[in-house]
Structure 1
Amino acid sequence: MLDKRSLRKKYSRILKGEIPANTQNQERLPHGDEPMCNHSNNPTFASILGSRLQRRQVLRGGLAFAVTSMFAGPISKGLRPAPAAADTTLLGFTAVPISEADTIVVPEGYTARTLIPWGEPITGSYPDYSLSNTGEEQAMQVGSHHDGMHFFPIEGESPYEGSSEEGLLVVNHEYVEPRYMHQSAVGMTFDSGAVPMQGEMRVADEVLKEMNAHGVSIVHLQQQESREWTVVRSDLNRRVTALTPAEITGPASGSDLLKTKYSPDGTRTRGTLNNCAHGVTPWNTYMAAEENWAGYFRNGDTLPGNQGPEPSLPREHARYGVSTDTSRYQWDLADSGAEEYARFDASAMGASATDDYRNEPNTFGWMTEIDPFDPTSAPRKHTALGRFAHEGVVFQPAIEGEPVVCYSGDDARFEYIYKFVSAQPYEAATASGDLLDEGTLYVAKFSADGTGEWVALAFGENGLTPENGFADQADILVNTRTAADFVGATKMDRPEWGAVDPNTREVYFTLTNNTRRTAEQVDEANPRPENSWGHIIRWNETGATTFEWDLFVLAGPSADSVSPAGNALTEDNKFVCPDGLWIDADSRVWIQTDISESVQNTDEFAEFGNNQMLAADPRTGEIRRFLTGPTGQEITGVIATPDQRTLFINVQHPGATAADADFAAGNLNSRWPNQSPDIYPRSATVVITKDDGGVIGT
């Protein structure tokens, strides 16, 4: 454990060249790779899948035969036959090939245009993008690392009906890459996670710039006669950042676990962080997910140990991976010493929690609701939906007079899938975010026979009592992972985006990968230790707390994959690491990939090229590759206008695969989207239209 003085000495050595800059935090994990925090003995999904396949007596034929057999017919409860041939397909485009080019590739007959890249001015004094932009200027510009998003028609009445020519595009900004953000980094030997230091500290304005590049952008857009989209200079444009005041609502609001120096009553906090996927409420508001937020903090508290001082973290820090060494961006080392930066050191420094920021990490990890049409409204963190690494939240289509139902995944290896059911019914005339402050949070248990159970994480139920370490409902929600451990939830392989088919109400979730699964956790029916490829699961609700599940697709190379139709994936559709997911009004399933920047276009991943987006027809089981992205990026975020004739997708962290020495020499492998030697790569939204004006995908 290093105290602040030791950290400053460490960074001074980095500046002097005694320690390479790219090793300043040797424990730093790749983006999206949280430290493995789940040490419970709960069953893994791998073991359940293995048991299920074993019951079908398909062990002898290997993975492809086993899973093809699983898709082939309803031999046991919960399994459905493979899709039957349909007269027509939902997919009317020709698949694009795998690509390593530094560009966007779409099918013939489509056009892709770039929109609102990082640094695009949208509010205030509208400062133009420049590498020398200040932290204050960044708060008036589009943030960095675009992720989940939604297009809200300008009428402001429905999230899915209304104008297809004008609206608000609300975009998450997951994280930042400091070496591409600061003039001080130019020519330095920095990898994609390193931060520039000034002596023993960080320059406060650079920290401010990074914090203001996080959060959410709300951008008023209008389509022109040329069919291009432009930013409207409007009072509706605004930024929500890592500094924006936010309310904490629901059962945990006011809990002792949420009290800080900033909010002694535990009802407020500042900012939203690491916003990955999103959600859209039936009452026309936006939900920003707080995913890998734990790494933004450090806690240097210690207790005496046999070998000297040992880290001493409360379970609400330890179970989520708060660092005992350095935080991800070392914001707590800003040289101004201002509290908005110092709060990222969660060590106990005062006499009580209201004298310091020991509870600051507990104010993150929630779903944050934003009203895009009310610039004066404060974001609301809804604690009833649980605290974990939220990838996003997806809602079942609301039914008048029935509870609101939504689902969320905890994006870390061996974590869980959750469901929330509101206590009060949905009434369109009065519905609001209050519906998300009272209800029941459940966690999923998958059974080998294709059935599943939702287990309530409710105080006094299923052993969640003071005798077992849970003081009240607030304690359960702040420690959602621990409560899910206790009730025996099924450990999944990085549950990421979810989607609900608006026509069938089936729920789909991507399980991106799990390279930490050991050989002891699999069997012949699930022979994927160190699983690099990932898959997609789906289920139907069969009751208030029961469901039936199957696998939609097993991603991977042709020799180790199974399509929804029960065949191996081919050159037209093979993919790995499914991440982003969306189902359009016609039931096309749009799948986006996130091959980690550390392995893109190398070794066993070389055959998959750059990250991509595909479309699937669940009726026929067909999948086709629709788009490939530029170098070093992740394709993420996808939504269409109500008429389905404009599609928005996001390109995140282009050029992230540039090696540290190449960055120092200015030899970058991507300059997307500007393709200028004077401009670094920038995350951006891409607008896709069909040249004949038709529906995207047909």
Structure 2
Amino acid sequence: MPQHAPTGLSRSEAYEQSQDIGINPSGNDTIADVINHRYHRRDVLKGLLAGTAIAGLGTAGIGVALGDQAQAQTAAPRFTFTEISHGVDRTHHVAPGYDADILIRWGDAVAPDAPAFDPQRQTAAAQLKQFGYNNDFIGYLPLPMGSTNSNRGLLFINHEYTNEEVMFPGIGRQDVKDKLFKDMTRNLVEIEMAAHGASIIEIERSEAGKWAVVAGSRYARRIDGGTTMMELTGPAAGHARMKTKADPSGARVAGMLNNCAGGITPWGTVLTAEENFHGYFWGKMEAGHPEERNHKRYEVPGNWYNWGQYFERFDVTKEPNEANRFGWMVEVDPYDPQFVPKKRTALGRCKHEGAAVIVNSDGRVVLYSGDDERFEYVYRFVSARRYNANDRRANLGLLDEGILSVAKYNADGSVDWLPLVFGQGPLTTANGFSSQADVLIETRRAADLLGATKMDRPEDIEINPVTGKVYVMLTNNSRRKADQLDAANTRAANEWGQVLEMTPPGGDHAAQKAGWSLLVQGGNPADPKTGAKFHPQTSRNGWFACPDNAAVDPQGRLWITTDQGEAWEKASGTADGVWALETEGPNRGLGKMFFRVPVGAEMCGPCFTPDGRTFFVAVQHPATDGGEKFTSSGKGSTFEDPATRWPDFQPGMPPRPSVVVITKRDGGLVGS
């Protein structure tokens, strides 16, 4: 009998809970251990942390509390907007002086011949032409290609997963013990598959300053979870462990799944990260099967969907290799509607989130990515070949050759990048690796053996092109044990997360070592139990919990979005949103709240136009997370009784994940 999700949790809540398990079996140091060794009492007393780690990071008696003005240093703030307040209700809120307009919603037309959205009569054929469900990563690509046009461009938007209870009339939650998908049909499953993947749309800003989707654009395209053919490239392509009955070549796969955060390459393609792919696989792995250890390390099968009932490739008892074809970074060219997406296996296989890419000082391309689960790792890839600004086609293969490494954070404030290369160190036949393909298919296990540092859910990673610093969003880790604490790290159950900052030496992102420090620790600084650390001038609304996605605007300023899941009421008591965060000088660690989502939603996809005057954000799964107090039944949201009907607020219209476009009413820079 397949496993089932805990009763009463939505799909997004179930995924959150699965990520809380922390299945890493290695005895490697956690980031908590490293923080404990680095930040100890005498450093705080000497004041050594100011400006290098976090202002006032210290013991319970010394830590920065909200409103504590002692020895506070401030300078002219880089963010001058009036912040909004913490809270939760059925709609969204943005800072005064700004407009936050709905750009596109689930079910809106993408293809020129898409039918009008009819939630009562959904079909897979219609969904394949309409904007998909949920929306995480957003990437803006100017038109024409190679320009910095901030008034016309393409948007690439990920569709991470589906929530059947608020998508389909009359069925409610299906992945629970008393249902076990009994109301799901093949037609509904096909709609779910069609709603996954990504959308590419063309958008344009009018003379009046309002953005709209360009109807009939030749660039408009849907990529889905079940039918879009993709190529596997790099060292694992064609390997025996990638071959299936449907694809004996091991080089082609239909669809991409659970695409979360991503990034844009210097040559104008998009990298989109397959994250929680385990949830789509069904059945029970045969004991002693050659893939048993591999699948267990990735929690395959997760049994969060019943796709395997209708499509045997998602049933591990029938196609045990199919899961090896997911969990990759996918490269897509939005400028070319005929481009076949590429799953770049040289970048490793894990529950990817984020793809921060930069051209290094020596011309090689460097990519940073996180593995979004408690006690998993931070990765870096350095290309073998150099970027050629004059040959875009040559750059399209840069991510197939290079060195993938995993981070080991040391107590002295340094980072060691440990190469995942077959034949080096423990990555040998003695430990079950026969080739580089094996190392990449089992990236997690390879990183375990190298002794990488176990992190607190590494999600999005962003590079500041102005300073060269790298920001890592560590969302939370409620599994941290009390025996991992000391006076300077007082959080046994880290429900609030932190932001870690890495500094490459001399700006060399390919160096074997880097430096690291903490920027902020999430939570309410006024509550000593949280151990939160922000700048002392941070207001009662300027702190946040559970950093998830991030963006650096053209001025080099950091913006952070949050994902507290169903625990929002406990973690912060406020809905998720967008915060601006100072990263340099006396105001380092000073946050300001800019945008807030409706109840049950997650804040995703922060993205700017090149001129910094337009800010795109994604509101994902409205109504689903912890919305019980807003439903008439006092239970979880359903199609008929959602916590909110955002953004339409029309009877019979379900909540619809949407992309929001934010502009300043005076046409100025966002945040200034």
Q: Same fold (TM over 0.5)?
A: yes
Counterpart Cα distance in 1 of 2:594 and 2:326:
36
Counterpart Cα distance in 2 of 1:21 and 1:416:
30
Paired residue type of 1:550? S
1:238 aligned partner:
221
Deviation at 1:54, TM superposition (A): 2.9
Counterpart Cα distance in 1 of 2:616 and 2:170:
33
Alignment of 1:171-190 (within 5 A): 171-185=157-171, 188=172, 190=173
Give the SS at the match of 2:381. strand
Q: Relative to structure 2, which stretch is displaced further, 465-474 or 416-425?
A: 465-474
Q: Pick from 659, 669, 672: which aligns with 1:695?
A: 669
The answer on 1:557 being equivalent to 2:485 is: no
Alignment of 1:273-422 (within 5 A): 273-303=257-287, 314-323=292-301, 327-334=303-310, 341-347=311-317, 349=318, 357-399=319-361, 402-422=363-383
Deviation at 1:398, TM superposition (A): 4.9
Deviation at 1:224, TM superposition (A): 2.0
2:489 aligned partner:
526
2:206 aligned partner:
224
Structure 2 CA distance for partners of 1:32 and 1:646, relative to 1, 3 Å: farther
2:403 aligned partner:
440
2:145 aligned partner:
156
Give the SS at the match of 2:36. helix
Q: Pick from 606, 611, 620: which aligns with 1:652?
A: 620
Counterpart Cα distance in 2 of 1:249 and 1:302:
29
2:575 aligned partner:
610
2:242 aligned partner:
258
2:604 aligned partner:
636
Paired residue type of 1:618? T
Give the SS at the match of 2:108. coil
Q: Pick from 150, 155, 176: which aligns with 1:169?
A: 155
Give the SS at the match of 2:126. helix
1:249 aligned partner:
233
2:645 aligned partner:
671
Give the SS at the match of 1:150. strand
Deviation by residue 1:458-511 (Cα, 9 ceiling, x = unmatched): 112122111222111000000000000001000000000111111111000010
Paired residue type of 2:154? L
2:63 aligned partner:
none
Paired residue type of 2:129? M
Deviation by residue 1:433-476 (Cα, 9 ceiling, x = unmatched): 31100000000001111111001101121221112221110000
Q: Relative to structure 2, which stretch is displaced further, 96-105 or 147-156?
A: 96-105
Identity percentage over the alignment? 39
Structure 2 CA distance for partners of 1:93 and 1:21, relative to 1, 3 Å: closer
1:43 aligned partner:
29
Deviation at 1:124, TM superposition (A): 4.9
Q: Is the 8 A contact 1:59 1:525 kept in 2?
A: no
Deviation at 1:198, TM superposition (A): 7.5
Deviation by residue 1:344-389 (Cα, 9 ceiling, x = unmatched): 1011x4xxxxxxx211000000000000011111100000110000
Alignment of 1:583-622 (within 5 A): 583-596=552-565, 598-601=566-569, 604-605=570-571, 607-619=572-584, 620-621=587-588, 622=590
Q: Is the 8 A contact 1:43 1:491 kept in 2?
A: yes
Give the SS at the match of 2:260. strand
Q: Is the 8 A contact 2:175 2:304 kept in 1?
A: no
Paired residue type of 1:224? S
2:67 aligned partner:
none
Deviation at 1:99, TM superposition (A): 2.0
Structure 2 CA distance for partners of 1:273 and 1:217, relative to 1, 3 Å: same
Deviation by residue 1:222-275 (Cα, 9 ceiling, x = unmatched): 112332222212121001111211000001111111111121121111111001
For structure 2, the 5+ residue unaligned runs are 60-70
Q: Is the 8 A contact 1:258 1:267 kept in 2?
A: yes
Q: Is the 8 A contact 2:136 2:158 kept in 1?
A: yes
Q: Relative to structure 2, which stretch is displaced further, 125-134 or 440-449?
A: 125-134
Deviation at 1:125, TM superposition (A): 1.9
1:134 aligned partner:
123
Counterpart Cα distance in 2 of 1:23 and 1:646:
35
Structure 2 CA distance for partners of 1:34 and 1:315, relative to 1, 3 Å: farther
TM-score with structure 1 length normalisation? 0.86
Q: Is the 8 A contact 1:202 1:331 kept in 2?
A: no
1:546 aligned partner:
513
1:99 aligned partner:
87
Deviation at 1:184, TM superposition (A): 4.2
Counterpart Cα distance in 1 of 2:537 and 2:483:
26
2:77 aligned partner:
89
Deviation by residue 1:149-208 (Cα, 9 ceiling, x = unmatched): 111111112xxx4221111111011111012222342xx4x3898998785x84111111
Paired residue type of 1:40? S
Give the SS at the match of 2:39. helix
Structure 2 CA distance for partners of 1:253 and 1:664, relative to 1, 3 Å: closer
Deviation at 1:333, TM superposition (A): 1.5
Q: Is the 8 A contact 1:456 1:462 kept in 2?
A: no
Q: Is the 8 A contact 1:215 1:273 kept in 2?
A: yes
Counterpart Cα distance in 2 of 1:663 and 1:278:
29
CA RMSD of superposed structures (Å): 3.0
2:660 aligned partner:
686
Q: Is the 8 A contact 2:261 2:354 kept in 1?
A: yes
Counterpart Cα distance in 2 of 1:616 and 1:411:
22
For structure 1, the 5+ residue unaligned runs are 12-18, 73-82, 305-310, 335-340, 350-356
Structure 2 CA distance for partners of 1:301 and 1:436, relative to 1, 3 Å: same
Paired residue type of 1:315? R
Paired residue type of 1:182? F
Counterpart Cα distance in 2 of 1:639 and 1:281:
14
Deviation at 1:640, TM superposition (A): 1.2
Q: Pick from 115, 123, 136: which aligns with 2:111?
A: 123
Counterpart Cα distance in 1 of 2:645 and 2:657:
11
Q: Is the 8 A contact 1:287 1:370 kept in 2?
A: yes
Give the SS at the match of 2:375. strand
Structure 2 CA distance for partners of 1:120 and 1:490, relative to 1, 3 Å: same
Counterpart Cα distance in 1 of 2:485 and 2:210:
50
Counterpart Cα distance in 1 of 2:17 and 2:193:
17
Structure 2 CA distance for partners of 1:34 and 1:575, relative to 1, 3 Å: closer
Deviation at 1:612, TM superposition (A): 1.3
Paired residue type of 1:277? A
2:191 aligned partner:
209
Structure 2 CA distance for partners of 1:111 and 1:24, relative to 1, 3 Å: closer
Deviation at 1:89, TM superposition (A): 2.5
Q: Is the 8 A contact 1:195 1:329 kept in 2?
A: no
